[in-house]
Amino acid sequence: MPIWAQPSPISPADADERRIIEGRFNSSEPADLAWAAHLAANYRQPSYVPRIIDLLQHSDRDVRLVALDALIRLRATVPWESLAPLVNRHFDAVVILASINNENRPYLSELLDGKVSDIGWVALNGILVDGRHPAGYAARLLKQWRPSFPIGVGALPPEPPPSGGMCGDSFQRPRPRPGFPPVVFYQFQQRTLALNFTTGPHSVSYTASTTTSGCFFPISRDTYTLDYLRWLTGLNEDVLPCPKPLLIKWTGSAQYRRSVLGYQEQIRTFVTRIRDALVARGLIAPDETVAMPVLDVVIHDLRTDKSAPLPVFDWRL
């Protein structure tokens, strides 16, 4: 064998680390298996990734959590079929780990069709909006978008009330389990932290801690969806301004009808330009059947005299 093809010798320290890890893996005790995964990550031993992946299906919750933490720290490429059974129980850690493997992007996109928390939804879109977009992602965004266009008749429509958030240093303090390594919980955060996870128009960070904590603020998914669509298309507010809330001073049905028809045309042009830009960038196939968004048009009748009924319009695009 040529000298340059000979394998590198294993150092004594490396051999000791592997012996310790092997000893733990050869046990059937949950604590030992958890330690095997934990030490493999501590010692930076990627050769144990397949065996750690097997631990994701272990019946002991803490073994699964330690395995997830170890795989994340090792930056392991894990197939979706090994992660899918855990997504409902350990959502944040599963999404973080799944995002390392680009082959998992279509499956992460499908999660947007299910029940996902606001911060989980932002994290998923932060992964998918940047880099390689899976097929159908842009069409899914457009279909699930519910843009709001309020109309005030006689006065401007009222502003929506501000919504508050919630922060806590520790919503839950799990007790350390005797004989186990530290059990780490991964949580998405809307704050900017050292562990920034996504880019795009709304970045998401995450914490890895033995306690669960964080800040949670309600978001408008439809406002965020527009931001993601603008990011994908390059149509920022300067290039394509969003139609503002409409104020109609009531002088009669004919004038009201003209104002609303003009507003409808503005909205139709706005949404159509976004769809056409997605097609032009190859994010939606020209022959792909794409459902247009359902408009959320709320008419606030603030007239002092409401004896004359307001004409009714079809807001479907």
The answer on 258 and 149 residing in a single domain is yes
pLDDT at 117 over 70: yes
The answer on 211 and 230 residing in a single domain is no
Count other C-beta atoms under 10 Å from residue 166's C-beta: 10
> Looking up tokens 């997830």, which residue turns up?
68
For residue range 12-71, list pLDDT tens digits in order: 888 888 999 999 999 999 999 999 999 999 999 999 999 999 999 999 999 999 999 999
Q: What is the pLDDT of residue 256?
A: 95
The answer on 144 and 261 residing in a single domain is yes
The answer on 209 and 63 residing in a single domain is no
Residue of 247, 250, 258, 262 whose CA lies nearest to 309: 250
Helix H or strand E encompassing 188: strand 185-189
Domain contains 120: no
For residue range 126-146, list pLDDT tens digits in order: 999 987 788 889 999 999 999
Q: What is the pLDDT of residue 6?
A: 52
pLDDT class of 211 with cuts at 50, 70, 90: confident
Query: What's the average model confidence in pLDDT over 97-115?
Result: 95
Q: What is the pLDDT of residue 156?
A: 74
For residue range 148-187, list pLDDT tens digits in order: 999 999 877 777 666 555 555 444 556 678 899 999 999 9
For residue range 267-314, list pLDDT tens digits in order: 999 999 999 999 999 998 877 777 789 999 999 999 999 999 999 999
Q: What is the pLDDT of residue 131?
A: 73
The answer on 230 and 202 residing in a single domain is no
Q: What is the pTM of this model?
A: 0.86
The CATH number that applies at residue 53 is 1.25.10
Interior/surface letters 284-302, b for 16+ CB within 10 angstroms, e for the rest: beeeeebeebebebebbeb
Q: What is the pLDDT of residue 1?
A: 45
Token couple for 1: 């064998």
The answer on 307 and 176 residing in a single domain is no
The answer on 229 and 211 residing in a single domain is no
Domain contains 22: yes
For residue range 221-268, list pLDDT tens digits in order: 999 999 999 999 999 999 999 999 999 999 999 999 999 999 999 999
Of 206 and 11, the structure prediction assigns the larger pLDDT to 206
The answer to whether 104 and 72 are in contact (CB under 8 A) is: no
Q: What is the pLDDT of residue 192?
A: 60
Domain span at residue 100? 13-115
Distances in whole angstroms, Cα of residue 40 to Cα of each of 79, 88, 133: 19, 26, 33
The answer on 208 and 232 residing in a single domain is no
The answer to whether 297 and 315 are in contact (CB under 8 A) is: yes
Domain contains 5: no
